[in-house]
Structure 1
Amino acid sequence: MPCPECGSSEVVEDSHYSQSHLVCTECGFLLTEGLLTTTRSEETFSQAVRYSESTAEVKKPCRNQIQGQKRVHDLCRILRVRPVVEDTASELYLKVYEHQSFLHVTLEKKEALVGCCVHISCRQHNWPLTLSTICSLLHVEPTLFSTVYQHLLKELRLDIPTLSLLDLVKTHCDGFNLFQNSASIPSQFLENKEKVVERAMQLVELASETWLVTGRHPVPIITAAAYLAWQSLLPGHRLKCSLGRFCKLVGVRQPPPASQRVKEMLDILVRLASQLAWLVPQQLDAKTVVKYTDDILRHRTLLLKQTLSLAWAENTNAQTDLSKQTEMGAGAEGGSGDGDGDGGESVPSLADHVGDEVSRQKRKTPVFLPPCLNQRKRKKACPEAEASLHTEPTTGEEEISDSEIEQYLRTPEEVAAFKAARAIL
């Protein structure tokens, strides 16, 4: 086909986008122009599309998405999860990244999405993993991570199965540095992992039987159980090691409530150890009871029954004594007659005193209760203080009591001094 402009017959086919064009090599005249299309089906039917749409035929993932997906694979390989868990986490991350609720979030939240997808896939395949482990690996704040995690579960409507606390003990203790021979850790602090995990699981079971696990976060309980288990295996060299130093040695962050969980577990051990006959002569307290952890755990079922039976017997005896002393007090009050007819203040009865004494003894009874019932009661405000807070405005018509009148009466010396001062003025 000759060129209509210059008449040259040298015409070549120039490929442009998805279609070719005929262009003259002499003058550059465009003999035939193809249509810009975006898909192969549109090319077949020669349908014209806009230029902005034609460039978006193959949408490539952005750099942040590629980097996030690589982080998912790296995190799964660090945790050494099964291939099916890694594939599930990768698919979930691609789905979440394109979700409308997570398109315009900060880079910190996108980093948290990586850990959330890995954690969800592990939970779905019954692979024990804690949120604190993910946060420590990704260096993400736990508050931010939990917020993104809850938002993700709500938007995708995911149902995450719960994990056993004993499985979490194994997972949490696997990364402790005390199980590896290191020059930075003293030899007396190194311990066998199987022994620590086994005893920590027994302590967690004991804590569960005594209501210490109910409504609590698992990580502080596991940390406290691992600390006491590690101490009890070699108490001679490890009793002076604090919880903070233990967490630094094992390479984990100390949860704030862990110290309180340690105190609660030690209180339980002291209560149970007092029931062992061969430990009665010993002076048991929170500092020495760790030495007898093996004996307590070996007989914990029997010790729990004995402690509960003793508490039940003490409560029964206290109620019996209360009923007897109340009857005696009622008889004594009945024989005294109506001697308070002059309107004086009433004297507390003997039954009230006995009831206060028995209730005080009940509070000392070693019983195991859920954490919600072991909260310290707030001190009630004084009735006079409560009344002063809600007093009505003074009008001058209020009645004056005898005690207030006595405060204003002056002695003869005060009256003479007042007259002398007034005469001078």
Structure 2
Amino acid sequence: MAVVDQRCPRCGSQDIVDDELYSQSQLVCADCGAVVSEGLFTTTRSEETNGTDVRFPNIAESNKQPCRNQIKGIHRVRALGRILRLTFLMEETAESYFRKAYEHPNFINVSLQKKEVLAGCCILATCRQHNWPITMGTLTCLLEANPNLIGVLYREMVTTLKIEAPATSVIDLLEMHCQSYKLSPQDVPEELSETSSNLTKRGSVLLELATDAWLVTGRQPIPVLIASVFLAWQSLKPTQTRMKYSLARFCQIAKVPKSSIAPKRVKEFKEVLCKLGQELPWLRGAEVTLHNVVQMVDDILNFRLTLMQNALRSHEASLASETQLPLSTEDCKPGLDTENPTLDDAVSSEPDKDRIQQQGVVDPTDIVVVEGLSCPARDKDLKFSQSSALSRGKRSLFEPPSVTHYKIRRVQLPMKEVTGDEEISDSEIDSYLRTAEEMRDYVEAQEELDSSDEEI
């Protein structure tokens, strides 16, 4: 390509062409082959003055592509949104939360398991912002993750990104749960029918009582809701017909799926009601059992705060009377120095365990033996042993499940180390060998395949 108005400084020819050498363009004289001007690697002074500086990180950031784990996490967010039937706006919100959280310094170097759980946390925050009835237990089942990990990571994500996500109330879940019960007069007889508004009103009060008694803490919501609705249905009209219905039969007539954990929650609800029913003054000491406490639910719920205070005072008084046992502060024997015993004292002094047991002060296991000497345990140790004799469930009238129920430790079975050098029995070797019948079937199948290939 010829260039106009350009002369060669060597021969004066005007036949100047543009020669592109790789990525650098040059002006070359076609007559003598001299290079008139080479490509400029730098800008001119005017361009540097009028131009703008662009930082390299900004250029690299514009071309930065998401990594494989981030793309996988976005796909997981979309899959969870479709499973939970979220709207398109909610899916976009959850994806934006995931991108911000994934690129944040607090989550960029966490483990891969936490990054997978982070997708569920973004879905949960979006659902709570849009009042979508999705609980943390639902996401735990979908992700097959540890609920404690989800809770900790969700709280950290909400705090880091400053997301305003209101927590879902159990009362709101109860209102939606009661609408699934088919207890209208068209579905069940008149004596068994009940409106969802009445069930919600009575069930909400039962749930408030269960919350004060630590029955809801750390529990799955659905069994607790089923138990509260069942007791609300029985207590609204405690007739003989309703009292004969069990929880499984109630779920059958209401056309709701029954839960295997709900009967335990019903029993716990009744135990709390029995503790409060004992404080009703007009019962005059009558026994309140699990069978007749449903008929007193109206009175218990109307005065539940006063009854709870009275029950706590009565329980504290009973504990104080049980723990006031006679204590002895006497030493082992007069003149015996338990701190610095001598050899003569050790020889002449023998433990008199029979006398100590007759006093009813110390158990034989509470005797301290020091170099042949025996004396009652100290007062502090004795008080500890007496308090430990009481069960942990009796220390307080209402306690969380984590306190009343001990966790069963899983026994770790020893792992067998397989090195490949183990001996193999003859019977195991025979199991890997083909029998004569298997060999015959294999040959026939191979012949059929060969014949079919020839026909084709």
The TM-score with structure 2 as length reference comes to: 0.48
How much has 1:129 moved relative to structure 2?
A: 4.2
Q: Which residue of 2 aligns with 1:186?
A: 189
Q: Which residue of 1 aligns with 2:315?
A: 311
Q: Which runs of 5+ in 2 are unaligned?
A: 1-74, 103-119, 337-344, 364-381, 410-456
How much has 1:274 moved relative to structure 2?
A: 0.1
For residues 351-377 of structure 1, the C-alpha deviation after alignment (integer angstroms, 9 at most, x for no partner) is: 336967776567656611122211259
How much has 1:303 moved relative to structure 2?
A: 0.6
Q: Which residue of 2 aligns with 1:106?
A: none
Query: How does 1:329-408 map onto structure 2 within 5 Å?
Result: 330=329, 341=349, 348=357, 350-352=360-362, 364=394, 367-376=397-406
Query: How does 1:86-125 map onto structure 2 within 5 Å?
Result: 86-89=87-90, 91=92, 121-125=126-130
For residues 394-413 of structure 1, the C-alpha deviation after alignment (integer angstroms, 9 at most, x for no partner) is: xxxxxxxxxxxxxxxxxxxx
How much has 1:225 moved relative to structure 2?
A: 1.1
Contact 1:176 1:251 in 2 (8 A): yes
Q: Which residue of 1 aligns with 2:228?
A: 225
Q: Which residue of 1 aligns with 2:238?
A: 235
Rounded Cα–Cα distance in structure 2 between residues aligned with 1:74 and 1:375: 34
Write the letter of the residue equivalent to 1:143. C
How much has 1:87 moved relative to structure 2?
A: 4.2
Which has the larger share of helix? 1
How much has 1:206 moved relative to structure 2?
A: 0.6
Find the residue that maps to 2:174 and give its secondary structure.
Answer: helix
Q: Which residue of 2 aligns with 1:267?
A: 271
Match of 1:292 among 289, 292, 296: 296
Change (3 A) 1:88 1:366: same
For residues 49-101 of structure 1, the C-alpha deviation after alignment (integer angstroms, 9 at most, x for no partner) is: xxxxxxxxxxxxxxxx9xx99x959957xxxxxxxxx34235468989x9xx9
Q: Which runs of 5+ in 1 are unaligned?
A: 1-64, 77-85, 102-114, 136-141, 380-425
Change (3 A) 1:172 1:341: same
Contact 2:278 2:287 in 1 (8 A): no
For residues 102-122 of structure 1, the C-alpha deviation after alignment (integer angstroms, 9 at most, x for no partner) is: xxxxxxxxxxxxx99987644
Change (3 A) 1:301 1:263: same
Find the residue that maps to 2:264 and give its secondary structure.
Answer: helix
The TM-score with structure 1 as length reference comes to: 0.51
The CA RMSD measured in Å over matched residues stands at 4.7
Rounded Cα–Cα distance in structure 2 between residues aligned with 1:116 and 1:250: 34
Rounded Cα–Cα distance in structure 2 between residues aligned with 1:162 and 1:305: 29
For residues 110-137 of structure 1, the C-alpha deviation after alignment (integer angstroms, 9 at most, x for no partner) is: xxxxx999876442223444478x89xx
Contact 2:270 2:290 in 1 (8 A): yes
Rounded Cα–Cα distance in structure 1 between residues aligned with 2:397 and 2:142: 39
Change (3 A) 1:217 1:73: closer
Q: Which residue of 2 aligns with 1:35?
A: none
1:197 correspondence with 2:200? yes
Q: Percent identity between the aligned chains? A: 30
Contact 1:220 1:258 in 2 (8 A): yes
Write the letter of the residue equivalent to 1:232. S
For residues 329-382 of structure 1, the C-alpha deviation after alignment (integer angstroms, 9 at most, x for no partner) is: x569769x9999456867546233696777656765661112221125989xxx
Change (3 A) 1:174 1:131: farther
Find the residue that maps to 1:126 and give its secondary structure.
Answer: coil
Q: Which residue of 1 aligns with 2:215?
A: 212
1:175 correspondence with 2:196? no
Change (3 A) 1:120 1:357: closer
Find the residue that maps to 1:186 and give its secondary structure.
Answer: coil
